[in-house]
Structure 1
């Protein structure tokens, strides 16, 4: 019945002009200044193939957002009443007139209906097109651009236009002005080292001298093993976050998912070694692998991905035996000028979004450890991707993203070389928030370290320049800002922006297995899958009691569940030649609301 009502509402007539003709004057859609670090290499080959993604307007998205907050607010009578795939598709579907006009425009350039790939809701249309045709369609010129630091190449333009009669029927077209790299250096893996001799010496010293083997738990739970101050394991996290002895049932279809990009895959042999080491009950179990757009699953152990192994081992280790899914999405941005005309790739997280939105039952808890500097992602594109995350939230999915490893800046530890400048041609000094963490419809996870915990210096935090502060943050973030000394970092951040992170978790010296050997790894890429594992455990308890999954978390976290977090009050996240923000009582721009106390949270959410 709810779907029928939605479809009826969406059928209301729109006021449009006469049907589009096959040609017309072009009107500028977007123009950018090339981001810092990119230089013009040469003209793009005319036959180079681009998968051109055209985003059609979603006229009823405000209605979707209203429903999202209603089903995510624990004080609402509609809390937990998530929508089906079909209901969400109806809310974001473009008006038929927009579809008709865009189709006519594409037809004028030789595209038939069978040439157009459409998203589940019809709000994206994708065509494969050679550069010479794309340039005519968009009245632009594509070039090959080189990234100085990495040597990567991209085929992009700095502006594009569309005929005036379709201008209002298109939100965004990419790849055009999108220079975001979404590279391994931005996957938020902060450190990578063999398990140190120092850690082994400390373990042996504890055994041989009879030194204290446990640390009082500052979070009120049972004691924490002393080794957790040098090496983080699944048991360490369960001890510290008050979840000792907690094992999923699992109940009523509960699932957890992880996304992998940039040719990363998780090695099953490494996972078995990890389970033998830390979760013996999980031995000989695995996870479901799903390839998106040709994503890899190469099980050559020497080629395993550090990021993918970290995510899989800890998220699935914490939430075992909750069924886990690993999505491997193909797509590497670089274009190689010397190999003919290879197919260009799209921004991979929207390929994943298209895929997961097309399926009726995605996992209820999903973590992603990748991102870009917000300013390298065109605003129109960021807004559309963020709306895709909102669709998943309305369907009952909790999305976690790492907040980034640059503190308030770009992650360069040398203040003399940090590049904290705007990409708008002014080169003004500015803090650099990350995206998708800055999207208000996801949960951004920052990082802590040691016991007692403090905010780790690389924990990404700050304020979005694209998205305004959502109402669920007003009280907590307003208090933080009011406590800053007057004039602190004036002009370096947007105090009205969506604030990150929302929460945090341990993020340093995680013991994983990679290519058959134990190593220590860290970053907010460790925090996010670990936090997602605990969310999956909370969903398990809720589903076992006949309740709905948590879905979009943030309205709950900032209200009813705020007392379920361990407040972190020390640490800072330097960057851009500044000390960054300090951890403080309540929410702060390095650790958010703090780290989870599962024992308290499970009572608050069930």
Structure 2
């Protein structure tokens, strides 16, 4: 544990490096420095031997991109309410042009490789200029990177070549994001032949909504809000957050919900929900955008396969009303599945190659040559981003390397520049990670770990992380909510990878100054310099959802995320109707002084995990419920007052 915490500042440093926030290159002749290091061998893997010196080991250098060092400044310029450029969002073309690789970076890395004895024909710059590929042997790679390559094996029979750490010259480090193969150990494992996608490491593994079983919907009123402490319906949510609004700019507006195959909705469930709780929704389907072979599969059914999608769509579509089309991004085929990066590739064609492109030890590769796989080309720039995108899936931050998360986080910033609001659920296990695992001193994650385990992308400073609240037992929707403590606990805490963004500093500093957690520094990132999450919350307990022809009670930040997405979509409607821009990346706005008090502050409850009570909900921002839950009338009025 202490070893992990001792490395926190270096992890933050690595992410800053990955985002290009270092100074320009130093002298052409400079000493080698550590570039990446892995602290442990992942569970299930074992060291077998040194890799053979003469074996082929093709190296790939992911090159850093132009202007990444300015990305927060550029994003704040169009997102902060006090900026003269507020709402002047970029086009996709402007984003691509601004972050294209520089010739200086390409030349610096290529020349260094050539100077180390590699012939020109063995050094190739890819057509997109994101990678430099080198045909090397193991011996040559070890000399170039000052490392040792080893072969690891998994119980499944899969082998993996990796090193514990590698080094680069100081003048080369600012030009290289990461190198493969190297310390990245997110190798995808083969599934059993009778098992659909969603294997270890895929979004949604361990982060799905929870259920306490079926309920009789006949006893639940579609309009009465007197039983919202037992059953949450759309009427309860409209009462809680003041969402009394009829959209008028539906042709200009959009709301996107992301699902990962094999999770899929059933139209019969939407129809059942409509007959009981959502007048006008019967027979209405989301507009589905298939990404990498994604489709609304029906081969596998049950809560595990339909609960997430049914929940997201039934509530998302109802709250924006059937008049507003909802876009369903269905990602990945039934064989390979997909990652967040596969989805982002489809939104932004430049991301397919950005900083070296996808990591195929972690991200799905298409065409999928496995039997029954999607044989079409990888989706790159094939989908248009909606103005609000809600995703109820997450990884544990520790599942991924700092460089992998930094590359993806930068893409969320680019979407923010284009006026897109990105929402992610914060997790359902309090200060623990998905599946209720916590960190150990050696970096592994186990049920008996003692260090708080934040989720990702919730810790990325360029998305809005959503926690969960509840209507307290025997209370009404007109009384204050508390942090969710039924079945699930609102995910929250402090990142071990990402530095605190400037927009959050005042709020987090206030929390740490007045409500400093009573835990030793060995248990959480107590530096006061890291990103805190969540940013906001909404109700996440006792949702009545139609799943497989019956109604179930459902819990999770999977509930609260699409609810906030629907509310922000309606705020966009009001602004678009007034001839204004979309709200885009909302964090600089909602943390600003002008928006103080516009969320319902949550001051009760905590988020247990890792053998503790977790953090406490307090006045102001806290790492349990963020700034609080939305007050639609106040928020829409304030956003309409902005340019």
Bucket of the pairwise TM-score, normalised by the shorter protein: 0.7 to 0.9
Match of 1:478 among 509, 512, 524: 509
Give CA deviations for 1:310-355 in whole Å, capped at 9, x if unaligned.
Answer: 22222222123322222222279xxxxxxxxx9xx69711121122
Deviates more, 1:177-186 or 1:365-374: 177-186
User: Is the counterpart of residue 61 in structure 1 residue 68 in structure 2?
Assistant: yes
Give CA deviations for 1:444-491 in whole Å, capped at 9, x if unaligned.
Answer: 000011254110141011111111211211222212111225854433
Q: Does the Cα contact within 8 Å between 2:428 and 2:557 map onto a contact in 1?
A: yes
Q: 1:194 to 1:346 in 2, by over 3 A?
A: closer
Give CA deviations for 1:173-228 in whole Å, capped at 9, x if unaligned.
Answer: 4686143944466452241243236x87xx48xx9xxxxx99xxxxxxxxx70222
Query: 1:336 corresponds to which residue?
Result: none
Q: 1:241 to 1:36 in 2, by over 3 A?
A: same
Query: 1:454 corresponds to which residue?
Result: 482
Match of 1:573 among 607, 622, 641: 607
Q: Does the Cα contact within 8 Å between 2:438 and 2:452 map onto a contact in 1?
A: no
Query: 1:157 corresponds to which residue?
Result: 162
CA distance in 1, matches of 2:157, 2:555: 25
Q: Does the Cα contact within 8 Å between 1:480 and 1:586 map onto a contact in 2?
A: yes
Matches within 5 A, 1:458-537: 458-484=489-515, 488-494=519-525, 495-537=528-570
User: Is the partner of 1:476 in helix, strand or coil?
Assistant: helix
User: Is the counterpart of residue 356 in structure 1 residue 355 in structure 2?
Assistant: no
CA distance in 1, matches of 2:549, 2:58: 38
Match of 2:211 among 192, 195, 198: 192
Q: 1:411 to 1:72 in 2, by over 3 A?
A: same
Paired positions, count:
541
Matches within 5 A, 1:204-603: 225-244=225-244, 246-251=245-250, 253-300=252-299, 302=301, 304-320=305-321, 321-330=323-332, 348-358=339-349, 359=381, 361-410=384-433, 419-424=438-443, 429-451=450-472, 452=479, 453-457=481-485, 458-484=489-515, 488-494=519-525, 495-559=528-592, 560-603=594-637
Query: 2:377 corresponds to which residue?
Result: none
CA distance in 1, matches of 2:65, 2:231: 47
Segments of structure 2 that go 5 or more residues without pairing to the other structure are: 1-23, 188-199, 350-380, 473-478
Q: Does the Cα contact within 8 Å between 2:331 and 2:337 map onto a contact in 1?
A: no
CA distance in 2, matches of 1:540, 1:189: 30
CA distance in 1, matches of 2:326, 2:630: 21
User: Is the partner of 1:67 in helix, strand or coil?
Assistant: helix
Q: 1:506 to 1:43 in 2, by over 3 A?
A: farther
CA distance in 2, matches of 1:126, 1:294: 30
CA distance in 2, matches of 1:305, 1:426: 28
Q: 1:253 to 1:567 in 2, by over 3 A?
A: same
Q: 1:184 to 1:424 in 2, by over 3 A?
A: closer
Q: 1:228 to 1:36 in 2, by over 3 A?
A: farther
TM-score (norm 2): 0.73
Deviates more, 1:542-551 or 1:447-456: 447-456
User: Is the partner of 2:565 in helix, strand or coil?
Assistant: helix
Deviation at 1:550, TM superposition (A): 0.4
Give CA deviations for 1:246-275 in whole Å, capped at 9, x if unaligned.
Answer: 122234521111222253222333223223
Q: Does the Cα contact within 8 Å between 1:190 and 1:524 map onto a contact in 2?
A: yes
TM-score (norm 1): 0.77
Q: Does the Cα contact within 8 Å between 1:72 and 1:552 map onto a contact in 2?
A: yes
CA distance in 1, matches of 2:347, 2:60: 17
Q: 1:233 to 1:464 in 2, by over 3 A?
A: same
User: Is the partner of 2:567 in helix, strand or coil?
Assistant: helix
Deviates more, 1:570-579 or 1:506-515: 506-515
